[in-house]
């Protein structure tokens, strides 16, 4: 029995609200249960120094958590003067995942920055960030195409992410905080709409796992992301 009463293969309730940010070229407030992440896409008409003159664009991400998004207040990273290793790991992952579905040659020398800020945290914030950032990215691209800054759509795939884990010996989909804290193992799957794997991060937390367990997690992830792809499409339709 999962603490939330969900079935082993049941996602939390998902909602994606667009337009929360007044200024961003694209924005999506994604909620997966009590996890809420505000994702914005910001466009800048140049690329970082190491990219200049190649005629390609750049897509990058930053991640943050409001100090009281969590059960007990965390230090504000701006006040501590540095981002934690965890924060950097997550924002590098978000950036890589989005770049995997963008053909940067089609962008020209512009940068799109995806900011994922966690307003409320209840597990799975990095996966929610990726799923929401995809929507913000598509909205920004849509605006750039309307303005004719982009002639063609550089977004060449759909990406969503979900965590799975082994909780009390059972593979389950979409861990919330309580499950995540007690899981034997957890894994984040970043998958494409076309069935490809972009990234897998699987970690034994309390016990190592075998190939069969891993296969079960991957199957759950495919089922979970199918629902997330639908939610993204609905939000972009809306």
Binding residues for phosphate: 86, 124-126
Residue 43 and residue 144: Cα distance in Å, rounded?
A: 9
68 in contact with a copy of itself (CB under 8 A)? yes
Q: Which stretch binds a copy of itself (CB under 8 A): 50-58, 124-132, 164-172, 204-212?
A: 204-212
Longest CA–CA separation in the chain, Å? 56
Stretch that binds a copy of itself, among 23-31, 50-58, 126-134, 160-168 (CB under 8 A): 23-31
Token pair for 106: 């089609």
Pairing of strands 159-167, 58-65: unpaired
Q: Is 60 in the site for a copy of itself (CB under 8 A)?
A: no
- Contacts with a copy of itself in 126-155 (CB under 8 A)? none
Q: Is 177 helix (H, G, I), strand (E, B) or coil?
A: helix
Cβ at position 91, least distance to a copy of itself in Å: 8
Task: Provide φ and ψ at 230, rounded to 5°.
Answer: -65, -40
- What's the CA gap between 208 and 37, in Å, rounded? 31
- In the complex, minimum distance from the CB of residue 231 to a copy of itself, in angstroms, rounded to a whole number: 21
> Residue from 67, 108, 153, 227 that binds a copy of itself (CB under 8 A)?
67
Q: Which residue from 103, 142, 124 is spatially nearest to 24, judged by alpha carbons?
A: 142
The residues near 117 (Cβ < 8 Å, ≥ 6 apart) are 37, 38, 39, 63, 64, 65, 66
The H or E element spanning position 115 is strand 111-120
**Would you count residue 199 as binding a copy of itself (CB under 8 A)?**
yes
- Residue 156 CB, shortest distance to a copy of itself, in Å, is 11
CB closer to a copy of itself out of 197 and 234: 197
Tokens of residue 144, six digits: 């750039």
Segment interacting with a copy of itself, rule: CB under 8 A, options 90-98, 124-132, 167-175, 229-237 = 90-98
Q: Examine residue 169 and tell whether it contacts a copy of itself (CB under 8 A).
A: no
Task: Based on the shown chain and the rule CB under 8 A, indicate whether residue 85 belongs to the binding site for a copy of itself.
Answer: yes
Residue-level length of the chain? 238
Does residue 233 bind a copy of itself (CB under 8 A)?
A: no
Token digits of residue 195: 């069935």
Q: Write out the residues near a copy of itself by the rule CB under 8 A.
A: 20-24, 27, 34, 38, 40, 42, 44, 62, 64, 66-73, 76-83, 85-89, 91-92, 96, 100, 113, 115, 117, 119-122, 157, 187, 192, 194-204, 207-211, 214, 218
């Amino acid at each position: 029995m999962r603490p939330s009463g969900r079935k082993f293969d049941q996602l939390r309730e998902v909602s994606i609200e667009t337009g929360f940010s007044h200024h961003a070229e694209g924005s999506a407030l994604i909620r997966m249960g009590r996890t809420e992440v505000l994702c914005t896409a910001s466009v800048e008409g140049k690329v970082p120094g190491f990219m200049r003159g190649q005629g390609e664009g750049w897509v990058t991400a930053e991640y943050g958590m409001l100090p009281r998004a969590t059960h007990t207040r965390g230090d504000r990273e701006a006040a501590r003067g540095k981002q934690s290793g965890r924060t950097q790991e997550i924002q590098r992952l978000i950036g890589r995942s989005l770049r995997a579905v963008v053909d940067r040659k089609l962008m020209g020398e512009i940068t799109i920055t995806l900011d994922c800020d966690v307003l409320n945290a209840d597990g799975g914030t990095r996966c929610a960030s990726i799923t929401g950032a995809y929507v913000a990215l598509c909205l920004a691209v849509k605006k750039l195409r309307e303005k004719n800054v982009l002639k063609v759509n550089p977004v060449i795939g759909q990406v969503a992410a979900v965590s799975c884990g082994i909780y009390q010996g059972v593979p389950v989909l979409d861990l919330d905080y309580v499950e995540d804290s007690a899981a034997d193992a957890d894994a984040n799957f970043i998958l494409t709409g076309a069935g490809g794997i972009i990234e897998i991060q699987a970690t034994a937390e309390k016990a190592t796992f075998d190939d069969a367990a891993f296969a079960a997690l991957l199957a759950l992830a495919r089922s979970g992301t199918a629902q997330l792809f639908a939610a993204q499409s609905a939000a972009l339709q809306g």
